Structure formats: C-alpha cells, structure tokens
Amino acid sequence: MTNVDLLFDKINTGREGKNIGLKTGIEKLDKYIGGIQRGVYTLIFGLSGAGKSAVALYMIYRTLRDNPEKDIKYIYFSLEMSSELLLAKLMCLYMYEEFGVIISYTELMSWEEILSDEKYEYIQKSRAWLSEISEKLLIFDKALTAKSFYRTVKGLLSEWGTFTKSADGRRELYQKDNPDQYVIVVVDHVGLCVPETGSSKKQEIDTISQYAVGLRERCQVSFFMLQQENRNSSNMDRRKMDMTECSSEDLKDTGNTYNDCEICIGVYHPLKHKLKTHRGYPIICDSSSDFKGLRDRYRSLCLIKNRLGVSDRLIPVNFMGEIGYYRNLPKPEEISDWKPYLSLETKDSETEDVPENKSQEPINSFNFKF
C-alpha cells in the first residue's frame, strides 16, 4: 500500500465518523486540536500547583464519563499521587455532576471532621461507576524507569493486540484486536522518573520520550506527558518584560519532550505571578471591593505547539480546585457578573469562599490569541 493509499484510507475512515476525537470537555481546546486523537503525543507542563494533573484527570473523567460504550484504555503512571487519591479525585468529579454535591478529597477522607451520613451515601452510590471505569483505567503508582515504562506499555499492548515482524524482518508491526480502541498513556509527571544506574535524569526522560514516539507511530497509542516548568518565568527580568506566560524554553530537566510531541499545552496560573489582571480577566481586585477577583478560579491553557492545526492560542478556563473541575470561560467583555465563576452550583445552592490574597501590579504577557 502506497502513502497515497494510506492517506485516502484515513480520509475514508473519517467519513465513517471514526476519526472524531474524544472530547476533553474544554470546547475551545477541542476546536484547535480535534479532541484526543489516536496516535498523538501531547505534552502538558506548568509550575508546581498550576493544575497539570487536574487538566489530565479532567480529560480522563470527561472521556470515560461521556463515552461508556467506547473501548478506551488508560495506562496512568501516577508518580505524584497514589492510585487511591487519583480514584478519589475522579469520584469527586462524578458526584458533582451526578448528584450536584461538592465533596472534596479532604472531606472524603474525614481529615478535618467525620464525613456525614448524607455525604457517605453519595459516595456509596458512586462506587459502581468507579468500579466500572477501573477496568478502563490502569494505574501504576510505583517508581518508573524508562525500561519499566516501555515494558509495561508494550506488555499491555500485547494483551490488546498482536506484534509481528514485517516481511523483510526489519520492522515491528502491531495490529489491535479492536481497530476502534483508544489506548492513552499518561505519565504524571515525567520529572519524577528514576534514572537507571549511569543515566542522568535528562537521559532517562529523553529515553521515555523516544519510547513514546516509537509506540505512537507503530501502535497508534496516544500519550499525555506531564512535565514541570522551571521557575524562570517568575524571575524579575521576565516580569519587567511582561513575559510570564508559559514558554517551551521553561521546561524543566529537558526540552526534547517538546521536540518529540505533536501538541504542547502550558497551564498558566497568573495568581502565582501576583497579576491583577490577565487578558482582561480580573485576577486580584482591590480589597475594598466585594469582588476580590477570580484568583485561584482562573487558569489559561497556552497552546504553544500544534502540528495538527493552529498554535499560539490562549484558552481561558474557570477552575474549581476543590474537585478539579474545569469549565469554559466567555470573553471578559461578555461577562457582566463575575460571581457565578467563583463557585459551582449545587443541589443546595452552596457556594465556596475564595481565599484572600494580596494584590500586586498587573503584568501582561506573550502574544497569544484567543
């Protein structure tokens, strides 16, 4: 089969509706990247606490919740969170959408006070859904090396398909048992991998990234590689130049993940830079005002690289950290009342208080477009 044949085969498959990506739940992002596509390597990075893991978990929740009939397999290397914590965060999202209640992880674990019988009943009702998605979400929360990464992913792929050699014996081929299956691998975050003896952290990450490229090409596996941002964006020179938004130059440990990926998304948290405003959105308002600003309720997803379409786009989102919930934000000029974006509606119309924070001078950033 020639390359032209392969192209037209892909086009015809699309006309059957089989190329439509899994929706992430963030509409503007889906518009630019076409949702989660098979065989695409996506890099997500940001400062510690910016919400990288929350973005990945929300996408996982959205795809599993909205597509119960699809054959989706997630392989999640959770190097920061235990498998129990990860599942608990997904359950918090489910309980909000299914029952209209906000139960944070802290409440779930009865850390501050014993969980009420009423809330425990919602948790019990969520168990069936959690058990159902656990068959599609395989979590590995132990130490990770490049070799264990490759061995684990390839081993699972062998259970879901067949590896063979090409006719000339030079290439390894892979055939899925179910051609419509999605296999999505998440590494959270890659900077916590353990270098083999004689290998540096950079070399180990680069090897993991190269394995991802190979598996993506041969097996049509999708990857979400999460990576830390260094603190260069917070230094005084960057502030003076109004350049605090995410940049590929800010990747910690290595930049080869950026070279290897098709899509790169930076998770930008302007409150960490003490901005008063960001692209017209009020982050920190005067303390004398009833409205203190969006503060921790605001994030921007910076689409820095996109081989599938346009890049250099900024996607503003409303973030509810207590349950890891993301929702779309209208343009600032379309919003007359900001208070609905400070809390989520519940069945009892409960609201969450926004934490106090001192204001600083505003800073503008790179030339991303909405």
Q: How many residues does the chain have?
A: 370
Q: Could you tell me the CA-to-CA distances from 54 to 60, 229, 273, 329 in Å, in that order?
A: 10, 16, 20, 17
Give the CB-side neighbour count of residue 257, counting CA atoms within 13 A. 31
Which residues of the chain carry a pLDDT beneath 70?
233-242, 348-370
Q: Between β-strands 281-282 and 313-320, what pairing exists: parallel, antiparallel or unpaired?
A: unpaired
Query: Which DSSP category does 248 fall into?
Result: G
Residue 329 CA to residue 71 CA, distance in Å, equals 31
Q: ω into residue 189 within 30 of 0, thus cis?
A: yes
pLDDT at residue 240, rounded to an integer:
62
pLDDT at residue 11, rounded to an integer:
85
Encode pLDDT of 158-195 as tens digits: 999 999 998 888 889 999 999 999 999 999 999 999 99
pLDDT at residue 365, rounded to an integer:
36
State whether the Cα torsion 255-261-265-267 is positive or negative.
negative
Query: Which DSSP category does 273 fall into?
Result: G
pTM (2 d.p.): 0.89
Query: Cβ(206)–Cβ(155) under 8 Å?
Result: no
Encode pLDDT of 22-49 as tens digits: 999 999 999 999 999 999 999 999 999 9
The pair of three-digit structure tokens given for residue 25, joined into one six-digit string: 């739940």
Domains of the chain: 32-341 (3.40.50.300)
Q: Could you tell me the CA-to-CA distances from 326 to 59, 99, 244, 260, 317 in Å, in that order?
A: 9, 17, 22, 27, 7
The pair of three-digit structure tokens given for residue 251, joined into one six-digit string: 């990747």
Which position has the token pair 């190097």?
79
By C-alpha distance, which of 137, 138, 140, 136 is closest to 79?
Answer: 140
